[in-house]
Each structure stands twice: as C-alpha cells, then as structure tokens.
Amino acid sequence: MTLRVLTVDDSRTILAMLHHTLSNAGFEVLQAEDGQQGLDVLKTETVDVVITDINMPVMDGIEFIKHVRATGLHQSLPILILTTETSQDKRDQGKAAGGTGWIVKPFDPEKLISVIHRVVH
Amino acid sequence: MSDLDDFKATYFDECSELLTELEEQFVAIEAGERDADRLNAVFRAIHSIKGGAGAFGFSALVGFAHAYETLLDYVRDGRIELADEVVTLCIRANDIVADHVAAARTGDALPADYGMDEKARFDALARGEAPADDDGEGPDEFDIEFTPVMVSLDSDVEEAEYDIAFDLAELDDTFEIVPMAIDHGQWEVRFTPHRALYARANDPLLLFRELGALGEMSVKAVLNPIPPLSDFEPFDVYCSWEISLVSPTLTEAMIREVFEFVDGDCDIVIVQAGAAVVPAPAPAVEAAPVAPAAPEEAAVSDLLALADDEVAHLLDFTPEPKPAPVSAQDSFEEPPGLSFAELAESLKPATPVQPAAKAKPVALAPAAAESSGEEGERRAVGVQSIRVDLDKVDRVVNMVGELVITQSMLTQQMDETLRARYTELVRGLEVLAQTTRGLQDSVMAIRAQPVKSVFSRMPRLVRELGLKTGKKIKLETIGENTEIDKTVIEQLSDPLTHMIRNSADHGIESPENRLAMGKPETGTIRLSAEQAGGNILIIVEDDGAGINRERVLGLAREKGIVAPDITPTDEQIDQLIFAPGFSTAEALSDISGRGVGMDVVLSNIKKIGGSVHVRSWTGRGCRMTLRLPLTLAVLDVMLVKVGVSPYVVPLSSIVETIQCSRAAFERVPSGGQVLQVRGEYVQVIDLAERFDMETETEADNRFVVLCEAEGSAKVALIVDDIIGQQQVVIKSLEENFERVEGIAGGTILGDGNVALIVDVQGLKTTIVHKNAA
C-alpha cells in the first residue's frame, strides 16, 4: 500500500528535494506551500504522515500543527517537523503544538525515510 | 548527478527571488515600517536560503546565513532592538548573502574571511543579550504502583509465559519488578508514557518495533494503575511497560535514541541488568482512588454499552483507536450485569493478549485503511501560477516568430489576380494574420515581467550613494508594475545602476550647495517606467545641477570627439556623455566610474534594441530616457528597397514617408542636404550612399522616410522604394556576423531573402561623428 505524505514548505527547493526522495522511496507525495494550504489539503485528502517546515508565510508550521491537532480526525496523524540542527527551541515549540517528531535539515534520503517509518505503521 | 543540478537550479532561482524580497522588505524597513510581518518575511527568506544551502553543502553561505538568521531571530523576539545601525548591518548582510549565493552558483570561492566582520558583529549583538534558556519542563512527580504483566513479543512463545496479574482486589499492591536473569548486554527499560505522547501521535507500538530491532526483546505491560471503569478516562494513560532487551552491542545511547521523539512525553528509566533499579521518577497518571467495590450494576452496563471501543483501547493499553486483540474482546462479551471484578476475573484465563506490536500493521491502522480509499487522485494545491523553464517559453516565442514569417509570406504571395479569384482564401489569411498577432501578443505577455524586480534594487543603491557622497538623496519610483520582456529586464539592471550612480554623483549637489541655491536640502532622483506605444520608457530624472556643458564640451574637444570648428547645440552636447570614449576615469569619480562610462550604458541598451536620450536643464536637473522595445523578438517594420537590396526600418521610428519629388530639399554650405519639413530642417541621409549601393532609381521617384531619432530629433532617410509594412523576427547580426554601424540587425523575409534592419539612431550618431571629426 502506498503511503501518502503531505509535505508543507515554502521553499521550492526543499519541496522538490522531499518530493524526489519520497517518490523514489515509493511514497505518494502531496505538496503545500504554507500551513493554510496544508490544512486545505487535509480537508479533502487523507494522508499517512505530514512533513512540515516551521517558518512559513501565511500560516507557520506551529499554527498548522495546532490546527491539525484541533481537528478530531487528525489526532493520530504523525506530523514531522523540518528543523535545522540548531533550532532546538523551534523543535520544542513544534512538539508542544503536537508534532510527533522531527527531521533535521539537511536530511539525507535514508535518514528521512527511516524517520518516517519511525512514526508510521 | 542531474537531479542535484535540477535542485540547485531551483534553489538559485528561489534565492534570487528571496534576495529581491529582502531588498523590498528592507526598503520598507528603512522607511520605518518595522513591523513583525516584515521581520518574519526577512527571517524566512534568510532561513530558506540557509536551508537550501545546507542541503547542497554551501558551508560558507550556511555559516554566514546562520549568524544572520540568529540575529534576525533575536530582533524578531525583541531581544535586540532594530536600531538604524542594525538595519544598515542587515542591508550589508543581504549583499554578503547575495555574494555567497553568486559564488555558490558559479563555483567561485570567496575570500575565507569574507563577511567575517559582519558575522562577528552579529555574534557580538547576539551576545549582548544572551538568549534565555528555559525548557521549563520538569517531570511531574507521582508515585507509581503497578504490577508487572509479562507480554512476550516473541511470536514463538504463544501462551507459555503469559500471565495477566490483573486483580482489582490487589490494586494497592506495591509495585515490584519481576526479576530478570542478569546477563551481559541485557538492558531493562521502564517506559511510562504521558498523555502528551499520544496527543502528538506517537505510538508505543512503533517504539517497541524500533526497540525490537536493537536486540532480543520482551515487553511487559504494567496495568495496575487502571481505575475502576466508573472513573476511567478514555483518553488518559493508565499503563506503562517494562522492556527487556538483550544484545551484546547495545548501549544506553542507542536505546535513548529510540525515545528521541518522545523525550519529555514519557518517563524512561534505562538500567543495565545487574545495576540497581531506580524507581521511575514519575508515572503518567495520578493514582486513581482505589475502588475495589463493584460499581452499581446499571453504571457498569451503561459503560459497557459504549465501551466496546474504549475497552479495546484499554486492552491495547493505549487510548489510540486500535482494534483490540480478538480474544480479549470476546471475553468482554459477557452478559452485562457482571460485576467489574468478575469481568476482570474473567480476563484472567484469557488466551494471551497478543501484543499489538506483533499484529500486522495493515490490520490495526485505521488511518491507513481510510487512506486507501482515496488513492490515486492527487489534487493540485494552491495553483495560481506555474513555473515554466524560460527555454520552453523561448521555444514558443521562436516558433511564433516563424509562424509570423510564414503568415506574412503567404500574404505576400497573394497577388491581385489571386486575391480576386480566391476571396475565401484571402479572408482566411486575414483571420490567420489576426490570430497570429494575438498569439504573438500572448506569448510576449508570458515573457513580460514588472520592472519592479529591477527597480527594487535601486533604493539601496541610492542610499549607499548618499552615504558615500555625503549627499542627501531620496529615490522616488513610479510605474514599477510596468511590464517588459524578461530579457530586457535582465539587461536593464546595469545600465540603470550606472545612470543612477551618474545622477547621484554628478547631478545631485551637496546639501550646502543645494540650500545655497534655494533648493531643498535633499535631492530627488525619480525613477519611472511607462509604456508609450510600442516602447517602454524608463526615465531617470534628478533635480540636481544638470550637465555641465562647458566641461563636457571641453572634454569632448580634448578627446577629439568634437572638432574645434564645430559648435554643437546644447542638446548635442548633452548627448556627448554617451559618445564612445567620452567617459574616462578623469571624468568619473570613484562612484560612477567602475571602469565603464555612459557609452557602455548606451551600447548595453542598444543591444536590447533600445536607445537613450538625455536632456539637461542647467541648475535644475537632468533627465535620461531609456526607450526600450516591448519585446525583443518581433518588430513591426516598413520594408524598403535601397538599390537591389531590401532593408527594413522599425515602424516605431517612422514619422511619415514623402515622395522625393514633393520634398523640399535644401543644400547647405557644407555640401550636405537638409530637408525642410513644416519649417523644421532635418538632416538627410541617403541610404544608397551610406551603404554604398548602386541605385538606378531616378531621384524624383525615390522616397523620403522621415524618422524620429532620440529626443525627437528627426532624420530623413532616402530610399529607392517603399514595399510595405510587415512584422519581422529580429536576428542578431553580432551573434552571426559582427556589429555593423548603422545596422541594428537582420531578418529573414517571407520570400527567404535577408533584409537588414536600419538603426536610425545609430546612423544619425555616426553622421554627427563624421562631421565632428
């Protein structure tokens, strides 16, 4: 069964790299460029895991995660936060909002896939 | 690896957008708009640049961007005040980031210490107020009471070691750990999840799965803090686990790593077997009041009626909606009315509860099951624009160009007889012509971009110039949404920069001088863009001193650009600043002069089919006008004949055509000819003479094509015949041959012949120089 991943990032570079890595690994990839778009996707699409950036225009990752968790349907949806090595406080904020885990940028493909498998059945 | 190259291309594209955005934001920030939105946008831009740079290993860029980002973060949360010095530092930092990006793109190396001063200042600023370090999450303290239950994850061991010690009557038992065989490489983990762990969609099951990969594992569920059903809170957490792991290579760090994501959301005690077991500091749940008495029957049955699910959760030991192991569920299908104690009792002999970890993922992931229904249909998200490779657009542009040629060729093939005979065909061709035109416009519109992208870089240029020269200068921009072909825009930045430098350096006076002249202390440079007919006008205007004509003329004479016996008009003197060889280091200060003069501006602009005109008012200011074609590819022209060759004259420059027999030529003493048009004397250029063509056409049968060169100076071109108007696709002569004075390019006509495009401005300038020399 193909797992569906929603990737949310305002950086096209990161979206493209995620897309490349994930689709090579057999995931189906949906994309959104900010939290609001991400929520819109989740209104109509079912995904198995979400990967989201924190710093985004319109709606940032923290708000996005809060909104997702506030929706009854998505309480058990794993959400991975894209963070950098150094942004421990962002990671903590993301976690406090309901983030399941995190992926440190720059990610290597294998690590990315293994982190996803860590939070998805 | 081409994938990587693709990503890099995307990244650099994105960087240039982000850098432009940075410029724009700082223009506003400088103007005093220091609100959170702007700061966030700036932060995001730097963050994105850094993120991508990290992915590609551009470490110098990452290092600098990181320091910058940290500063911005502090500014954002108010730890550092966004004072003017900080703004200036940031603007400088934007440059450095841009340089790093450029270096990464070209693969050039910047000096190792490049930007280090700024970086040091960031660090110093950041240190000024050390970041408050609070993680404020102390573990909650509870006493734990539980009786361990042994659950084996080893599928071979089905029933044997199974023992559920689940007795409500013994709820007050003190907790004890079932002693395990002490062994080398054996670890014991006590894992007590908090409610938050589940709230963040973490799942003990997955953790067990991961732990199981580390070595041989057995897991015991610890159940005894479970309250009576009446007090049962479905989403709370009532159980913990005892995990035993055996592997000779296992380290504590490896185990901690598994719990990385749930750190803080659970209590974990890891002990190597043989060491003293430290009691867990904090169980997740407040110990529920011990209520050994059976609840009222009604309450129980109520609960059971709705509890199928919850009971399943209970048995699964997690509040997540997961199917319970079948056997356990069965055991709950006892007639209602049974006391809870009895119920619990009935569980005792149940077949081993298969730990969920061993169940097939497919069977127990409701989320996954849901998703399978909607597979395949992917939704485009937030699409308002698409990004297309410029090459692809250019291919379309080229093809449309060829289509235009073919269409005009077809039209030309229709002579009068054919027209008369095939009226339907003629109509069809007319429609084709219209459609082609429409298609062409649409394609050109795709390439068009607002000049904003270039204009936005100018405010800070002006700002820097002001700082360097000690002059007070403000920049006004008008019409920045005017659209021009992307290629033109790309070529516009350098000339525009140069013109603005020129204005700031030579035009605007020092504040004292300005005040002395009764002008406002602050000089204004106005940058505007507008569409005028088939052209875009970009105007750089200042309210400075104007061109110092005496000095310009003196220099021009000195350099032999203007002969001593010639007295040019004021307007001609102004134009001299664009004359090749006029600008020298002497004429330029260190600001304007970067080894190029205004003649380079002119040639750059010419390269993209534009022209420059300057007009100056002594003591009041100077205006430089760039006239640029809307599109580069296709030109509306008049096809003329000179000798046996076809030439084309850009339609946009033609004022009118006159038969020579009706034109009022007058000889001038120098031997040349002028044409009198409505009281104005116009310089005459015979193209046959100019291009050395033999002409057999009688003088009276030839035509005058009256053209307007820059600054509404007119020039009359004499040609042998006028063939008609059409559109041509411009082919560069320089690319395919070499630059020829007086010729702007070439084109291929409908009949396959090559025609040269007359460069009206160029012709006029060459003649002036000829005379001057």
Residues of chain A with Cβ-Cβ distance to B264 below 8 Å are 95
Least confident of B585-589, B730-734, B741-745: B585-589
pLDDT beyond 50 at B157: no
Average per-residue pLDDT for chain B: 73
Least confident of A74-78, A106-110, B227-231, B274-278: B274-278
pLDDT for position B230: 77
Tell me if the bond preceding B193 is cis, omega within 30° of 0.
no
The whole-angstrom distance between A49's CA and the closest CA on chain B is 10
The band of B291, judged by pLDDT with boundaries at 50, 70 and 90, is: very low
Q: What is the pLDDT of residues A18-70, one digit of tens each?
A: 888 888 888 889 999 889 888 888 888 888 899 998 888 888 888 898 888 88
The band of B533, judged by pLDDT with boundaries at 50, 70 and 90, is: low
Per-residue CA distances from B615 to B479, B539, B766 (Å)? 21, 11, 20
Task: Please provide the DSSP assignment of B728-769 as one string.
Answer: EE-B-HHHHS---TTEEEEEE-TTS-EEEEE-HHHHHHHHHH
Please report the residues numbered 30 through 59 in chain B whose beta carbons come closer than 8 angstroms to any beta carbon of chain A: 40-41, 43-44, 47-48, 50-52, 54-57
Percent of chain B with pLDDT over 70: 73
The band of B526, judged by pLDDT with boundaries at 50, 70 and 90, is: very high
Structure tokens at B295: 């609840």
Instruction: Give the one of A11, A37, A46 whose C-beta lies nearest to B374's C-beta.
Output: A46
Q: What is the pLDDT of residues B598-609, one digit of tens each?
A: 777 777 787 777
Task: Please provide the DSSP assignment of B585-616 as one string.
Answer: TTTS-TTT-SS--HHHHHHHHHHTT-EEEEEE
Structure tokens at B270: 């890891």
Closest CA to B597 of B612, B584, B586, B610: B584
The whole-angstrom distance between B332's CA and the closest CA on chain A is 26
What is the C-alpha R_g of chain A?
13
The domain tally of chain A equals 1
Decide if B424 touches A, using CB distance below 8 A. no
**Do the interacting molecules here have an ipTM over 0.90?**
no
Length of chain A: 121
Please indicate whether, in this complex, the C-beta atoms of B44 and A55 are within 8 angstroms of each other: yes
The residue segments making up the domain with residue A72 are: 4-51+60-85+93-119
Q: What is the pLDDT of residues A87-98, one digit of tens each?
A: 677 778 888 888
Task: Please provide the DSSP assignment of B512-555 as one string.
Answer: HHHHHTT--SSEEEEEEEEEETTEEEEEEEE-S----HHHHHHH
What one-letter code names the amino acid at B433?
A
Q: For the domain that residue A8 is a member of, what is the CATH number? A: 3.40.50.2300
Ramachandran region, residue B362 (left: φ > 0; alpha: ψ -120 to 50; beta: rest): alpha
Contact B94, B113 (CB under 8 A): no
> What is the CA B479 to chain-centroid distance, rounded?
22
pLDDT beyond 90 at B36: no
pLDDT for position B369: 37
Residue B728: what are its φ and ψ, rounded to 5°?
Answer: -130, 155
pLDDT beyond 90 at B746: no
Strand order in the sheet with B664-667: B654-659, B703-708, B714-719, B680-686, B673-677, B664-667
For residues B626 and B490, give the distance between their C-alpha atoms in angstroms, rounded to a whole number: 15
Instruction: Give the one of A1, A37, A105 whose C-beta lies nearest to B368's C-beta.
Output: A1
The whole-angstrom distance between A110's CA and the closest CA on chain B is 14
pLDDT beyond 70 at B501: yes
Q: What is the pLDDT of residues B111-133, one digit of tens each?
A: 878 888 888 888 888 777 433 33
Average per-residue pLDDT for chain A: 85
Indicate the SS3 state at residue B59: helix
- Determine the average pLDDT of the residues in B522-542: 86
**Which residue of chain A has the CA closest to B43?**
A55
Give the residue carrying structure tokens 């395949």.
Answer: B376
Contact B327, B351 (CB under 8 A): yes
- Determine the average pLDDT of the residues in B545-574: 82
pLDDT for position B648: 92
Least confident of A112-121, B140-149, B479-488, B666-675: B140-149
- Determine the average pLDDT of the residues in B153-179: 41
Cβ-based neighbours of B507, under 8 Å, separated by 6 or more: B523, B525, B542, B544, B545, B546, B621, B622
The band of B646, judged by pLDDT with boundaries at 50, 70 and 90, is: very high
Q: What is the pLDDT of residues B424-478, one digit of tens each?
A: 888 888 888 888 888 877 887 787 888 888 888 888 888 888 888 888 899 998 8
pLDDT for position B765: 67
Closest CA to B17 of B98, B76, B100, B107: B98
> What is the CA B237 to chain-centroid distance, rounded?
46
Residues of chain A with Cβ-Cβ distance to B368 below 8 Å are 1, 3, 48, 121
Strand order in the sheet with B634-642: B721-729, B634-642, B645-650, B754-758, B743-748
Q: B281 or B529, which is more confident?
A: B529
Helix (H) or strand (E) holding B212: helix B204-212
Instruction: Give the one of B50, B199, B381 whose C-beta lies nearest to A32's C-beta.
Output: B381
Structure tokens at B593: 């002069």
The whole-angstrom distance between B5's CA and the closest CA on chain A is 11
The band of B379, judged by pLDDT with boundaries at 50, 70 and 90, is: very low
Residue B554: what are its φ and ψ, rounded to 5°?
Answer: -55, -50
Q: What is the pLDDT of residues B46-70, one digit of tens each?
A: 988 888 888 788 888 888 888 898 8
pLDDT for position B528: 92
Q: What is the pLDDT of residues B303-346, one digit of tens each?
A: 333 334 444 444 444 444 444 444 434 444 444 444 444 444 44
Structure tokens at B20: 């432009």
